[in-house]
């Protein structure tokens, strides 16, 4: 093995990777919490969908439902200390599908006159009711009542959207975990610094040239294009300390009344550093705003 290979391997080892552990209690708890959230949120979602008179608003309701399911899974995973990305993905997809099924059960219950006799969580029974609704139609838009394959297409798009949003949020495991203390690390105050070549910055951090952080913090800052450095550290020890760097680009909205568009991209994710470096980043981030130079 060449010297360059050794350096490359050492650099790779500097970055945090989840252990892949799924505590047994965490497995059951995450599934139970996700299932309960899907059961309760699906009723609220179906209720809003049924009484919502604005078709365009339906898109935001769908996105909100998927996000709520995903957030419930994400919080459950954090609480149960699940550190396996694959498991988080599978649970997100399962709970998302469960949320879609529950939503249909409640929607059928509401559409058919709040008749408790039609509440049936058997998927085949639910599909029979869906076929019945597709044949007769359930709503109108500008005088047109879609039926049959039109409705199936719209419902399919709705289901895929819910599933995707639930997966995108629920499968995220953002914070590094301290295996020694069996707890998640906690983020410090973000430090906003001048934009720099992130590849060069990563190389400097890997080489333990931490003075570059101070140098960047002393440069003039273009508020529309910055690097955001966040330190993570274990609340109980000094063995699990990391830095994550993101590039944040802000562009103006299409009109003066529109909010600016903010795009944040991770460029360095959870590189291990000494604990005092994380404390220094937090100290720099907490400086008074007047101490931070800004580009003209």
pLDDT confidence tier of residue 12, bands split at 50, 70 and 90: low
The predicted structure's pLDDT at residue 137: 73
More confident residue, 221 or 177: 177
Q: How many CB atoms lie within 10 A of CB 183?
A: 16
Cα distances (angstroms) measured from residue 112 to each of 79, 269, 279: 39, 51, 60
Per-residue pLDDT tens for 21-54?
888 777 888 899 999 999 999 999 999 998 988 8
Residues pairing with 294 in the sheet? 221
Task: Round to whole Å and give the CA distance between 26 and 35.
Answer: 14
Which residue is it, tokens 């460029």? 267
Residue 2 has pLDDT above 60, yes or no: no
Task: Round to whole Å and give the CA distance between 94 and 69.
Answer: 11
Mean pLDDT of 167-192: 93
Residue 170 has pLDDT above 60, yes or no: yes
Tokens of 169: 């949020």
**Phi then psi dihedrals of residue 285, to 5 deg:** -70, -25
Tokens of 122: 């058997």
Task: Round to whole Å and give the CA distance between 187 and 220.
Answer: 25
Per-residue pLDDT tens for 68-113?
999 999 999 999 899 998 999 999 999 999 999 999 999 988 888 8
pLDDT confidence tier of residue 7, bands split at 50, 70 and 90: very low
Per-residue pLDDT tens for 46-63?
999 989 888 789 899 999
The predicted structure's pLDDT at residue 134: 83
Per-residue pLDDT tens for 189-238?
999 998 888 889 989 999 999 999 989 888 888 888 899 999 999 999 99
Could you give the angle at the alpha carbon of 183 between the alpha carbons of 182 and 189, nearest 5°?
Answer: 150
Task: Round to whole Å and give the CA distance between 23 and 36.
Answer: 20
Interacting residues of 91 by C-beta distance below 8 A, sequence separation 6+: 30, 31, 34, 73, 77, 170
- DSSP-derived letter for residue 179 is T
Q: State whether the Cα torsion 204-205-207-213 is positive or negative.
A: positive
Among residues 164, 173, 139, the alpha carbon closest in space to that of 65 is found at: 164
**Phi then psi dihedrals of residue 174, to 5 deg:** -85, -45
Per-residue pLDDT tens for 228-280?
999 999 999 999 999 999 999 988 877 767 788 889 888 999 999 999 999 99
Among residues 7, 16, 5, the alpha carbon closest in space to that of 177 is found at: 16
The predicted structure's pLDDT at residue 121: 82
The crossing angle, in degrees rounded to 10, of helices 123-136 and 85-111 is: 50
Mean pLDDT of 180-188: 94
Q: Is 93 helix (H, G, I), strand (E, B) or coil?
A: helix
Per-residue pLDDT tens for 117-167?
777 888 888 888 888 888 877 776 776 777 788 888 989 999 999 999 999
How far is C-alpha 101 from the chain's CA centre?
22
Q: Is 53 helix (H, G, I), strand (E, B) or coil?
A: coil
Residue 8 has pLDDT above 50, yes or no: no
């Amino acid at each position: 093995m060449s010297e360059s290979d050794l350096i490359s391997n050492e650099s790779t080892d500097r970055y945090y990777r989840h252990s892949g552990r799924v505590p047994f209690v965490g497995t059951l708890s995450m599934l139970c919490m996700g299932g309960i959230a899907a059961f309760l949120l699906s009723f609220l979602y179906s209720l809003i969908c049924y009484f919502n008179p604005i078709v365009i608003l339906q898109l935001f309701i769908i996105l909100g439902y998927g996000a709520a399911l995903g957030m419930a899974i994400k919080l459950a995973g954090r609480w149960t200390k699940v550190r396996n990305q694959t498991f988080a993905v599978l649970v997100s997809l399962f709970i998302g599908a469960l949320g879609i099924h529950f939503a249909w059960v409640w929607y059928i219950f509401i559409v058919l006159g709040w008749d408790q006799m039609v509440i049936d969580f058997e998927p085949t029974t639910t599909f029979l009711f869906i076929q019945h609704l597709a044949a007769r139609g359930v709503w109108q838009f500008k005088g047109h009542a879609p039926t049959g394959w039109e409705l199936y297409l719209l419902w399919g798009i709705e289901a895929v959207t819910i599933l995707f949003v639930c997966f995108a949020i629920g499968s995220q495991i953002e914070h590094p975990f301290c295996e020694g203390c069996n707890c998640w690390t906690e983020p410090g105050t973000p430090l906003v610094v001048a934009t720099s070549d992130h590849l060069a910055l990563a190389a400097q951090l890997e080489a333990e040239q931490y003075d570059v952080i101070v140098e960047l913090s002393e440069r003039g800052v273009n508020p529309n294009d910055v690097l955001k450095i966040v330190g993570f550290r274990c609340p109980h020890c000094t063995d699990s300390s990391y830095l994550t760097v993101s590039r944040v680009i802000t562009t103006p909205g299409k009109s003066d009344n529109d909010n600016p568009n903010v795009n944040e991209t991770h460029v360095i994710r959870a590189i291990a550093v000494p604990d005092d470096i994380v404390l220094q980043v937090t100290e720099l981030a907490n400086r008074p705003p007047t101490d931070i130079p800004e580009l003209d």
